[in-house]
Amino acid sequence: MKVVILGGTSGIGRSVAQRMAARGDAVFLLGRSNAELERSAADLTARHPMQATAGWALCDLEAPAGFAGALDAADQALGQFDAVIVTAAMFATQEALEADVELTRRLATVNYANTVTFCEHARTRLLARGGGWLTVVSSVAGDRGRKPVGIYGSGKAGLSTYLEALDHKYRASGLWVLCVKPGFVKTAMTAGLKPPPFAGEPDGVARDIVHAMDRKRPLIYTPGIWRLVMMVIKHLPRFVMRKIGF
């Protein structure tokens, strides 16, 4: 594959980049920090010297005017990419969001509106060249309105619905859309929070993502136990959901 990874300098995205480079895929990193991109690209190249030098370009989900230019740079470096992976997102606790309306606006815009906008840029390009892979990290938080993640989860719910619709509409045209729903993952984004049971590690999630892409699956929960957990949660009546803190 010739893959573009938005969010490839840390956490899940970094682990995905390492796995794909290790097996010979050409990787191009997108992120919002020149220093982190340069360091991550150099690390990929050093770890996998038989592969082409990893390229990179700035791309900030809070600055959609730069999306087209970033993908242009990826196309130029890769000779037209055929896979796009989006792991970047914004996170804040429910308490912080309820205390700051501006923070809520930023998070909702980044995690839904701007992520969809970026995906639309990618979708248009991929379909114009006959198809490819579009993989986006959503969250189990979007499966049900839950008290601890109400605002964050609402954006992920919308994103998951969008990705499902893309799969329904464009699979026959060669666009393979994968919606990834992790549970809690131990990354910098969740640093300082107490990990719940079944917390995942970035490399394990990355392994599941690459495996699912190879098999052109439309949806995965990772770690896999979250499929069972959320199956139960989705069927709990509202009066129970009002009483529990999950």
Outline where 58-201 has alpha helix (H). 67-78, 94-98, 101-108, 115-128, 150-170
Span 2-243: which CATH code?
3.40.50.720
Question: What does the pLDDT look like over 6-22, one tens digit per residue?
Answer: 999 989 999 999 999 99
88/68 Cα distance (integer angstroms): 17
What pLDDT does residue 152 have?
A: 97
147/183 Cα distance (integer angstroms): 16
What pLDDT does residue 45 have?
A: 86
Task: pLDDT band for 226, please (50, 70, 90 cuts).
Answer: very high
Longest Cα separation, the chain: 58
Query: Order of strands, edge to edge, in the sheet holding 55-58?
Result: 55-58, 26-31, 2-6, 83-86, 132-137, 175-182, 219-222
Hunting for tokens 């992790």 — which residue is that?
182
78/192 Cα distance (integer angstroms): 38
| Sign of the torsion formed by the C-alpha atoms of 112, 166, 202 and 77 | negative
43/13 Cα distance (integer angstroms): 14
Question: What does the pLDDT look like over 81-132, one tens digit per residue?
Answer: 999 999 999 999 999 999 999 999 999 999 999 999 999 999 999 999 999 9
27/17 Cα distance (integer angstroms): 7
CB-based contacts of 175, cutoff 8 Å, min separation 6: 123, 126, 127, 131, 132, 134, 166
pTM: 0.93
37/17 Cα distance (integer angstroms): 12
In 3D space, the residue among 20, 52, 152, 143 whose CA is nearest the CA of residue 95 turns out to be 152
pLDDT at 179 over 80: yes
Q: Can you give the residue ranges of every domain in the chain? A: 2-243
